[in-house]
Amino acid sequence: MHPHHSSAVTPHSPPRGHSTGQAAHRLRILCLHGYHGSASTMRSQVGSLTSALAPYADLVFVDAPSLAHGDFGWWHARTEGNTGGITYQGWERTRDGLMQVFEKQGPFDGILGFSQGAILAGVLCGLNAYPEGTPDRSAIFKFDFAIMVGGFVARDSKLSRMYDHHRERYSLPSLHVYGRSDGIVAPQASAELSDMFKNPTTIVHDGGHVIASQGFAKNIWLQFVKNQWAAKFEHNGHDNHHSRTPSHDSGHHHRPTTPTPNGVAFPVPHATHASHTPHAAHDPHAAHDPHAAPLAGRKVPRMRVYFPSADNARHHPSAAGWALVIFRGGAYSTPRGSGGDAAKWAADKGFVAVEVDYGTAASRSYWPENIHDGMRAVRVVRSKAAEWGVHPDRVGVLGFSAGGHMAATLAVGSNIPASPHDDLAPVISARPDIAILAYGVLSFVDEYHPGAYLSTVDNFFGTRNVPNSLREQRSPDLQVKHDTPPIFAWTVRNDHIVPYTHTTRFAEACKKAGVPVELRVYKQGYHGVGMGLGTGYDCEKWGTEFLAWIGGLHK
């Protein structure tokens, strides 16, 4: 693996009280990319943090050793056939490759991991503190702090033993960054990883699966790295390494502030471990109303209904009579991924917004049960039309990422077996009247490989061994027909998780079938951006453009 160094490219003021020569002393941080990433990808994802941290740290980016062999990722999670446990296939290659990096390119003061790289960083923390389960200061993976962004505790049957809750937690200084709207890694899972450390610094932001580095997050990043810099270069004028042995405090307790190396505490946002749930714009007639969409013999999918206030309804006449059934992302592993800000936005714009907890791998619901949940939700909304002030032929679907696959599947309505449990199926259509597709997984064949699109295909079917013919049948871009409803589809060109070509292929299929389609491919943004509100990226204007589009449908 060849390292890629990133350091200051423009002059920076040295840390206060130090000459330019002293400022040349910087920390060295090894950066570990995500599953489908690379050194160059992560350099782009780190973005402005590189220059912000440059006075204190050089970032070193390396490729996973698999990339040199035409593969990807630091490993591939595989289910053990005899025990049902998880094995990280390729871990040994990664371990050996990183040993060479530490031997030839080290020393490193800290590590920074994103996504799968954050899982790897957690593993390295375990090997740093517990080589082979026994404290050993001669470990090859030596570093003094760790930063983990959007990660979770390793699930490999052997490696996960390092996180045994009966052992003392790690005293290694750590920074943990994750988003409340992360549709790739559940926020609770990232919180569990932070709980493995005695005194974690935590940044919990409102975004998705990204390296958040703006506003308050940037300040905490900088403070954390400055503290590590001070611990090494200011204490007694020489390196001052933190203990790599675990703390003897094995209890769990809340930590609203995090002690810094020089004993001063600074506040950090306290993690909210429950999924972030938006709330409606209330007036005496608005409501946040949970409804059940029961399917006999099945776990009941939940629907949260957000009604617009009278003022919002009056100010947005184009939304009159419309309901939007919202399917958030989550790679069919959870229904609570990106798009968590969509329901409140829709209600604020005058729509009746209905967010659906559809079946996923988390509830052991696979094809066709997951799609049946989506169909049932549309039917329930139509059945409640008079009660909720919705016109029966103004029921749309809005889907993000894997939720986009759900929405598109309902729109094309192709070869879906009937549910024997849905009593509304014989009398109410599940076909939506419009579909809004946000960076959707709209193909199970375009750039497909096992584990693609964060294992969306595997989670959808409940198996890894899916023949091409079946994947084609469940690829919305291959099933568009002339009766598909009008489509508004958008994506971002630099989506590294779901290729933007999924959206362009679907739009082209709509055009060929004579289906009205509005396509937007934005230059800025990322997978999991949700509504994109407040990001400053050009994709945040999609909502305004959608409102103009729907306003013109019935003119």
For residue 319, the domain's CATH number is: 3.40.50.1820
**Are 223 and 347 in the same domain?**
no
pLDDT digits (tens, 9 = 90+) for 446-470: 999 888 888 899 999 999 889 999 9
Q: Is residue 536 in some structural domain?
A: yes
What pLDDT was estimated at residue 198?
Answer: 80
The token pair that represents 336 in the structure block: 């609570």
- Tell which wins on pLDDT, 15 or 540: 540
Q: Is residue 276 in some structural domain?
A: no
Q: Is residue 279 in some structural domain?
A: no
**Are 256 and 293 in the same domain?**
no
Within 8 A by CB and 6+ apart from 409, the residues are 371, 374, 416, 474, 476
DSSP 466: -
Q: In angstroms, rounded to a whole number, what is the distance separating the alpha carbons of residues 519 and 505?
A: 11
The token pair that represents 284 in the structure block: 């005496």
Q: Is residue 238 in some structural domain?
A: yes
**Are 311 and 236 in the same domain?**
no
Average pLDDT over residues 362-387: 93
**Are 305 and 165 in the same domain?**
no
Q: In angstroms, rounded to a whole number, what is the distance separating the alpha carbons of residues 245 and 128?
A: 8
Which of the listed residues 206, 238, 267 is the one where a domain comes to its end? 267
- Nearest alpha carbon to residue 373 among 354, 396, 356: 356
Q: At what angle do helices 369-383 and 402-412 cross, to 10 degrees?
A: 70
Q: How would you class 12 by CB atoms within 10 Å of its CB: exposed for 0-12, middle for 13-18, buried for 19 or more?
A: middle
Where in the sequence is the domain holding 299, given as residue range(s)? 288-551
The token pair that represents 245 in the structure block: 């042995």
Dihedral, CA of residue 85, residue 89, residue 92 and residue 94, to nearest 10: -120
Confidence of residue 523 (pLDDT cuts 50, 70, 90): very high
**Are 359 and 411 in the same domain?**
yes
Cα–Cα distances (Å) from 491 to 94, 404, 520, 524, 548, in that order, read: 33, 11, 7, 10, 18
Q: Is the bond into 11 cis (omega within 30 degrees of 0)? A: no
Q: Is residue 300 in some structural domain?
A: yes
**Are 485 and 539 in the same domain?**
yes
Q: Is residue 277 in some structural domain?
A: no
Confidence of residue 410 (pLDDT cuts 50, 70, 90): very high
Ranked by mean pLDDT, which of 192-196, 285-289, 323-327, 461-465 comes out on top?
323-327
Which of the listed residues 234, 267, 300 is the one where a domain comes to its end? 267
**Are 452 and 497 in the same domain?**
yes
**Are 257 and 351 in the same domain?**
no
**Are 240 and 311 in the same domain?**
no
**Are 196 and 60 in the same domain?**
yes
**Are 307 and 388 in the same domain?**
yes
Q: Is residue 201 in some structural domain?
A: yes
Q: In angstroms, rounded to a whole number, what is the distance separating the alpha carbons of residues 34 and 147?
A: 14
Q: In angstroms, rounded to a whole number, what is the distance separating the alpha carbons of residues 103 and 150?
A: 27
> Looking at the DSSP assignment, which residues form a beta bridge with residue 170?
197
Number of domains comprising the chain: 2
**Are 117 and 235 in the same domain?**
yes
pTM of the complete model: 0.56
Confidence of residue 273 (pLDDT cuts 50, 70, 90): very low
pLDDT digits (tens, 9 = 90+) for 176-210: 999 988 888 888 889 889 888 888 899 988 888 99
Q: Is residue 528 in some structural domain?
A: yes
What pLDDT was estimated at residue 409?
Answer: 98
Cα-to-chain-centroid distance, residue 154: 17
Q: Is the bond into 284 cis (omega within 30 degrees of 0)? A: no
Q: Exposure string (b/e) for 378-413, b if CB count within 10 Å is 16 or more?
A: bbbbbebbeebebebebbbbbbbbbbbbbbbbbbbb
DSSP 287-339: -EEEEE---TTSPPPEEEEEPPPHHHHHH-GGGTT-EEEEE--STTT-S-SS-
Which of the listed residues 233, 267, 301 is the one where a domain comes to its end? 267
